[in-house]
Amino acid sequence: MFKRLPEADEATIEFHFDGQAYRAVAGDSLAAALLANGIGQFGRNAADNSPRGPHCMIGNCFDCLVLLADGRTAQACLTPVAAGMRVRPYDPATAGSPE
Amino acid sequence: MTANGGPVEVAVVGGGLVGAALAYGLARRGRSILLLDEGDVALRASRGNFGLVWVQGKGRGLPAYALWSQRSARLWAELAAQLREDTAIDVGHSQRGGALIAMSEEELAGFGEMLAEISEAVGPENYEHELLDHDGLAKLIPGLGPDVPGGSFTPYDGHVNPLRLLRALHAGFQTAGGDYRPRARLAHIEAVEGGFELRSQAGTFEAGKLVIAAGLATPDLARQVAVEAPIHPVHGQLLITERAAPRLAIPTNIVRQTDEGGFQIGYSNDELGYVTGTRLGVLRDIAHNAVRALPYLAGLRILRTWGALRIMTPDGFPIYARSTEHPGAFVFACHSGVTLAAVHAMICPGWIDGDGIPEEQACFSPERFDVQTTA
Amino acid sequence: MNATVDVELAVIGGGPAGLAAATLAAEGGASVLLLDEQASPGGQIYRNIEAVCDRRPAIAAALGDDYRGGLELVRAFRRSGAGYRPRASVWEIAGDGALAVVGDGGAEVLRARRLLVATGAAERPVPVPGWTLPGVMTVGAAQTLLKASGLAAGEAVIAGCGPLVLLFALQSIAVGAPPRAVLLSEGFGDYLRALPHLPRAVGSLDLLAKGWGWLRQLKSSGVEVVTGVSAVAARGGSAVDGVGFITGGGRRDIDAGLLLLHQGLVPNGHLLRAAGCAQEWDPAQACWRTRRNSWGATSRNDIAVAGDCAGIGGALAAAEAGRLSALDALYRLGHIGRAARNGRALPMAAALRRHLRPRPLLEALYRPPAEVLRPTAPDTVVCRCEGVRLAALTELRGLGVPGPNQAKAFSRCGMGPCQGRLCEATVGRLLSDEPPLAGRTPQTYTIRPPARPVTVGQVAALDGLAEPAGEVSGMLDR
């Protein structure tokens, strides 16, 4: 999987995914931040519930969807990570509902 | 010469919801049926509609239409079961009542008058309905916006998945032995001995009887069998959101949650001609209205907005016609292809197969528009 | 927040074409606004270039001179005075030219007298069995992670064809994360097919030499390189754990926690299609592209196009095409005369021709294999969003479904959030006659707005719209 190269390792931000705390680098997309922490599955597909993670990283495939704390969906590859951010795996059964 | 080797008993022109329902019903009666359809890109209102099986408010000014819609609504569960049996396709039929959401006191009062008038015309015993204030409506629709004054409810209404319905009708038609021909836009109809010769994009066909259910292409074709069918397009814009957890149990006039989880939100009414695009301002107005009605919709992402053209008659009621000059030719046109799918599949095929349009439905003849059929 | 901004030229996309165009137009006196989805200028090719060159020298060195060469383009753009709106997605170009935009501040409508669409390229979807498993990504996606966040793709299996496959494998080696294996779909036949194009490409032998050099370098690095690979398939449960394929030596299987696919680039032209700009089929690149003249003018007289979103030509060609489009914009906006436009265009047009010269050779050499264009395994997921498999589309063929739009209605294929971007070409081919008639182009979906998702609440709060706002966008069906 992915590993952060030494000169890019400036992890200072803490964020949460699925209740767990992780560290990220300011400027990371949520997708990069999750992948850097060894998380490859971001959620489940809305139609067939199959496991999904980022595929294209340019906003086209929508397989990197996650749920924000307020229930909104976000494309992790286009969403910057922010300190204190709380994110959940995308799940069609809880999409639209706040934490 | 025929493109498929021999004449058929009935040719249905138009593979949308109306044509496919009629063709399906005819094929189930054991007739040899040909269904002529357009290609992949067609105006096809059946791919753009709102999916309601709806009675509430229909038939003001023509009680027969209210009764006809109700008759179809009552048959809908049977149609859904029959389609499942024939095709294994679940069309997502759910009919547990529906609500009209009023966005102003005036609109609420208008709903009250409208429902009272229809109820009186068809008999109150046939028209159970309730006018609800905000709290009453909010019991049916949790999460209702605070400034919605109220609405109305009837137990007859429901919704289906209109795209799966179209697929099921096509699949059922073919399972019953029907011959489907896409990319076969009909250009010319010639009355010949014992029936009709049909010249299409896909070749020439012969049929004993002819059913024209070609949506907005109907007027030109109907004229060739001496029926005037005054139809014009009315643009409606809709949107659909991403999927979300189930939240809205019953369909309403402005939003319904589909069986797949997305919220379908509508809709506009504009006379724009033959244009199927969308307008930003209309999208904004639709979204604005929806958020007022159900504030929880605000955070959902819109996946798609589209325009579709309703098949509208001058008075909004269906046109069902049998040609006087060519009694083997029938014309069907309406904008309620989902609601009326049950009667189109289960009742009307008997008319075509038998003695024609019954007296009870004679009110749907286009002669009501005072346009003489060209004799 | 929702104020209407009026500019003379709005440029959509901050890659080489958009940057070069915005720079030239702003320097030429036009008021320019560049809108881009990313947080910093550069596009995907020069992604995050300022920060990488500034703070991550080892990664910059690994990415190479072609990457670092983009820095001057970004610097010139920063100096040019052009307006810049990062992290902004255009979700619709309305019929009257209004731009619907969504960004951190919500949705808004902007107005520009002219639009230049420079939305670049996307990687061609590679529908192989198992490609929806977490851990199956595109090569470009992995390279984006390297550029944007300094993430190296460790122990990846890279499969496909095209220059990016070799380049990224070498970049991964350079940052100390060599791939486990590189599986190349091209074989000897591709080289033979490419030969006739060689003479025309002679003027750009340096570029060709670079490609051959990459392959030699990769083969000598110790990384396993397999050529003539077909039938790539990912296996795994909740994530990929291996990849199977067929080679001259028979069927093989390699363990892998990361599978990176690439079969070349296609124009990222959804927005243009939704706006009604006429398209044409490019048989050499096996993709649709927007019809345009040598200035980038499309069939809509308020919209021009430049760079890879109008047909793949690479970054250097994109920048020249952007400059040509900007010159034409300056002319049409009244900032320069026709003679000045034409005179200044000459060296740019010459450079553009030079950059495009090797394309036919590259296209012949790196043509995606038939199995990628038209997959055959019944359980292959064609539509990722809706999980529609090839077998379901085969069933629709049996129903007589005439094309992708009816297939979409009947199966939801292409109806998900990606709007068909990842399945359209496949569906078009699967539903066309078999074998495809010579010269016949695959059918396409009718594209509907929004090109990027925008929330109901954001749209509800839009202002700056007349009542009822705007003309109808989208297609006239007849």
All residues of chain C having their beta carbon less than 8 Å from the beta carbon of residue A61 are 384, 418, 421-422
- B143 touching A, CB under 8 A? no
E runs forming strands in C188-295: 224-226, 230-236, 240-247, 250-255, 259-263, 265-267, 279-282, 287-290
Model confidence pLDDT, tens digit, residues B151-161: 999 999 999 99
Residues of chain A with C-beta less than 8 angstroms from the C-beta of B299: 70-72, 96
Q: Which CATH class is domain A6-85?
A: alpha beta
Tally of residues, chain A: 99
pLDDT-derived band at C464, boundaries 50, 70, 90: low
Is C475 close to B277, i.e. CB distance below 8 A?
yes
pLDDT of residue B270: 85
Q: Nearest to residue C169, comparing CAs of C189, C147, C145, C153?
A: C153
Superfamily of domain covering B232-312: D-Amino Acid Oxidase, subunit A, domain 2 (3.30.9.10)
* Residue C401 distance to chain B (closest CA, Å): 7
pLDDT exceeds cutoff 90 at C440? no
More confident residue, B375 or B27: B27
C462 at B interface, C-beta within 8 A: yes
**CA-CA-CA-CA torsion for B74, B77, B80, B83, nearest 10 degrees?**
-80
Say yes or no for a CB contact (<8 Å) between A3 and C55: no
Of B182, B278, B280, the CB nearest to C448: B278
In this prediction, residues C386-401 reach a mean pLDDT of 94
- Categorise residue C232: left if φ over 0, alpha if ψ from -120 to 50, beta otherwise: beta
Closest C-alpha to C261, from C128, C144, C158, C119: C158
Q: How far is C297 from chain A (nearest CA, A)?
A: 25
For B245, the closest chain A residue by CA position comes to: A93
Q: Do C51 and A1 touch (CB under 8 A)?
A: no
Task: Tell me the mean pLDDT in the region B133-138.
Answer: 98
Query: Which residues of chain C does A54 touch, with a Cβ-Cβ cutoff of 8 Å?
Result: 137, 141
Q: What is the dihedral angle through the alpha carbons of B290, B292, B298, B304, rounded to the nearest 10 degrees?
A: 20
Residue B197 near residue B285, CB atoms below 8 Å: no
Neighbours of chain B (3+ CB pairs under 8 A): A, C
Give the ipTM of the model, two decimals please.
0.98
Instruction: Count helices and strands (H / E) in chain C.
Output: 18, 23
CB contact under 8 A, B244 and A72: no
Closest-CA residue of chain B to A46: B243
Per-residue model confidence (pLDDT) at position C201: 63
Inform me whether the pLDDT recorded for B374 exceeds 50. Answer: no
Q: How far apart are the first and last CA of chain C?
A: 39
Which SS3 state, helix, strand or coil, does residue C277 take?
Answer: coil
Domains of chain C: 6-122+266-359 (3.50.50.60), 125-263 (3.50.50.60), 374-454 (no CATH)
Are B277 and C472 in contact (CB < 8 Å)? Answer: yes
Which residues does chain B have within 8 Å of residue C107's beta carbon, measured at their own beta carbons?
none
Q: Which of residues 45 through 64 in chain A touch B, CB cutoff 8 A?
A: 46-47
What does the alpha-carbon distance between residue B366 and residue B357 come to, in Å, rounded to a whole number? 13
B305, C448: Cβ pair inside 8 Å?
yes
What pLDDT does C438 receive? 47
**C-alpha closest to that of C160 among C432, C429, C367:** C367
Cis amide bond preceding C450, omega within 30: yes
Classify domain B8-49+163-230+317-369 at the CATH topology level.
Answer: FAD/NAD(P)-binding domain (3.50.50)
Query: 3-class SS at C158?
Result: strand
Cβ <8 Å between A60 and C132: no
- Pairwise CB contact (< 8 Å): B245 & A95: yes
Kindly state the percentage of chain C with pLDDT values over 70.
91
Task: Tell the residue number behind the tokens 């709806």, with chain if given.
Answer: B54
pLDDT band with cut points at 50, 70 and 90 for residue B271 = confident
Average of per-residue pLDDT values in chain B: 94
Which residue is listed with tokens 């795209």? Answer: B163
C92 and B CB contact within 8 Å: yes
Domain locations in chain B? 8-49+163-230+317-369, 98-155, 232-312
Amino acid at B141: I
Distance between CA atoms of residues A26 and C150, nearest Å: 12
Domain ranges of chain A: 6-85
And the tokens for C457? 């609440």
Is there a contact between B275 and C466 if contact means CB atoms under 8 Å apart? no
C100 contact residues in B (CB cutoff 8 A): 280
- Mean pLDDT across the stretch B225-240? 95
For C203-222, how does the pLDDT look when each residue is reduced to its tens digit (9 = 90+)? 566 767 787 888 899 999 99
